[in-house]
Amino acid sequence: MTGFDRLIDALTLQAGYNSALVAIGAALLGLAGGGAGAFVFLRKRALVSDAISHATLPGVALAFIVMAVLGGTGRWLPGLLAGSAITAAIGLLIVEWMARRTRLSEDAAIGAVLSVFFGLGVVLLTVIQTMTSGQQAGLGSFLLGSTAGMLISEAYVIAIAGAIAAGLVFLMRRPMTLVAFDPEFATTTGVDVRRTDIAILVLALIVTVIGLKIVGLILIVALLIIPPVAARFWTDRVASLILIAAGMGAVSGYVGAAISSAFAGVPTGPVIVLIAFVLFLVSLLASPLRGALAAALRQWRFRRLVHQRQGLLALARGEAIYDRLTLSTLRRAGYMRRDGVATLAGRSAAAKALKDEARWAEAMRGEADGPVVADYDGLTPIEDVLTPDQIADLDRRLARLEVAT
């Protein structure tokens, strides 16, 4: 069986029960990560989530040590996740306390907690390697994630926790949206801003903890941040942002887990993050709202409109046109022949452009501070901005000025 055939089997959940369960669990993790990450992104707390993820490492190590000392295997996933949740919560509380009670800025507090907790975790992992329990192998997978050898019970834990996190995002979306955009207004409506902020970070903590086994603590932040950043290119609405981010996270988790199971030796966490990054690149380039290609196309159209208008005004005034882009724009529009002579349509359009120019000059003279006139971009047809009555009034005023002169 070729690698492509194995990939198709994995994507269609035909590669075995365990692979299918891991893929579904990774999809639920991505769904929760994208949804929770949307509020982390909107609240501008990405660095805090990074501190949370790094603060999980000593918890994993301490939980292993405690379970090994008590006679267990030390590899029981719920115990390891509980330990990581405890130290992550402690790290979060320390960041909050330092930011509120000391003169340190939040980013300084984050840097201190991130480096200290991660350093402590590395030291504890080194200590674990000297233990004689014989169950240390594989703990390093919590750094970058791994689904190789994942038990079905572990996949169940991740899938259920991911579904719970996604449900919490749905239930708390309204207060978290208010706090993300307007904390002052949220306070006036009775929303406790500080508790809601903590709830956002707790959701990030939950996603971080349940994602340790699949994505790893170093890369889990990417699953929280990349999907909402990519989703922002497609929409201006919060509800749509959450749905798109959750969908991108789910696709990243599902496809990444499928690729990892189809190709031996391919790490799960990095592949999931790379899939998320591919979705980000597609959004960056192809989004019709904020994508780079759409922006370039709008810029090109705007430039053409500017050259066309300037060319028509030059034709109306009998001025020579030397700019090649202006000439080619007028020819493409059918306003000028190749020998430089204006066509009938070109002369008509030029006369109208000159008349509209006089209309706008009169409108600005009489109503310079008006909202319609102030927002005029100089290119939109006057009929799309002013009503027929307003245009007729401008024509009457222009006619009186011509008689007066």
Q: pLDDT-based confidence at 344, cuts 50/70/90?
A: very high
Mean of the per-residue pLDDT values of the chain: 84
Residues 303 and 380 in one domain: yes
In the predicted structure, residue 80 carries a pLDDT above the cut 70 = yes
| Residues 298 and 327 placed together within one structural domain of the fold | yes
Least confident range of 88-97, 208-217, 283-292: 208-217
Both tokens of 203, joined, read 């959701």
26-38 residue pLDDT tens: 888 888 889 888 9
Which pair of structure tokens corresponds to residue 232?
């922002």
Residues 282 and 310 in one domain: no
Task: Identify whether the C-beta of residue 235 lies closer than 8 Å to the C-beta of residue 244.
Answer: yes
**Angle between helical axes of 77-101 and 193-210 (0-180°, round to 10):** 150
- Give the Å distances, CA to CA, from 249 to 84, 194, 225, 228, 300: 22, 27, 10, 9, 33
What is the CB neighbour count within 10 angstroms for residue 301?
Answer: 11
Angle between helices 220-232 and 268-286 in degrees, nearest 10: 10
Residues 129 and 248 in one domain: yes
pLDDT at 65 over 70: yes
277 and 304 in a single domain? The answer is no
Mark whether 64 and 176 lie in a shared domain.
yes
How many C-beta atoms lie closer than 10 Å to residue 254's C-beta?
25
Tell me, what CATH number does 130's domain have?
1.10.3470.10
pLDDT of residue 248: 95
For residue 171, CA distances in Å to 35, 82, 123, 156, 244 come to 11, 24, 39, 23, 17
At residue 281, the pLDDT reads: 95
Using an 8 Å Cβ cutoff, are 3 and 263 in contact? yes
DSSP 8-state secondary structure symbol assigned to residue 383: G
Q: What φ, ψ does residue 15 adopt, rounded to 5°?
A: -95, 10
**Same structural domain for residues 280 and 348?**
no
**H helices of 43-191, where?**
46-54, 56-69, 77-101, 106-129, 141-144, 152-171, 173-181, 183-188
Task: Report pLDDT digits (tens) over 175-230.
Answer: 888 888 888 888 888 888 888 888 888 888 888 888 877 777 778 888 899 999 99
* pTM score over 0.85: no
Angle at 25 between CA 23 and CA 29, to 5 degrees: 115
Domain end marker among 251, 267, 287: 287
282/299 same-domain check: no
Confidence at residue 247, expressed as pLDDT on a 0 to 100 scale: 93
Domain extent, residue 264, equals 3-287
Residues 333 and 232 in one domain: no
Domain end marker among 266, 287, 308 = 287
Specify whether 339 is located in the same domain as 390: yes
Average pLDDT over residues 10-35: 84
Total domains present in the chain = 2
Amino acid at 381: P
Q: Is 73 or 180 the better-scoring residue by pLDDT?
A: 180
What is the distance between the alpha carbons of residues 96 and 340, in angstroms, rounded to a whole number? 70
Same domain, 202 and 121: yes
Give the span between the Cα atoms of 401 and 405, in whole angstroms.
Answer: 6
Q: What residue type is 320 in one-letter code?
A: A
Single residue among 237, 256, 287 that ends a domain in this structure: 287
Q: How high is the pLDDT of residue 373?
A: 59
Same domain, 269 and 349: no
The pLDDT value recorded for residue 277 is: 95
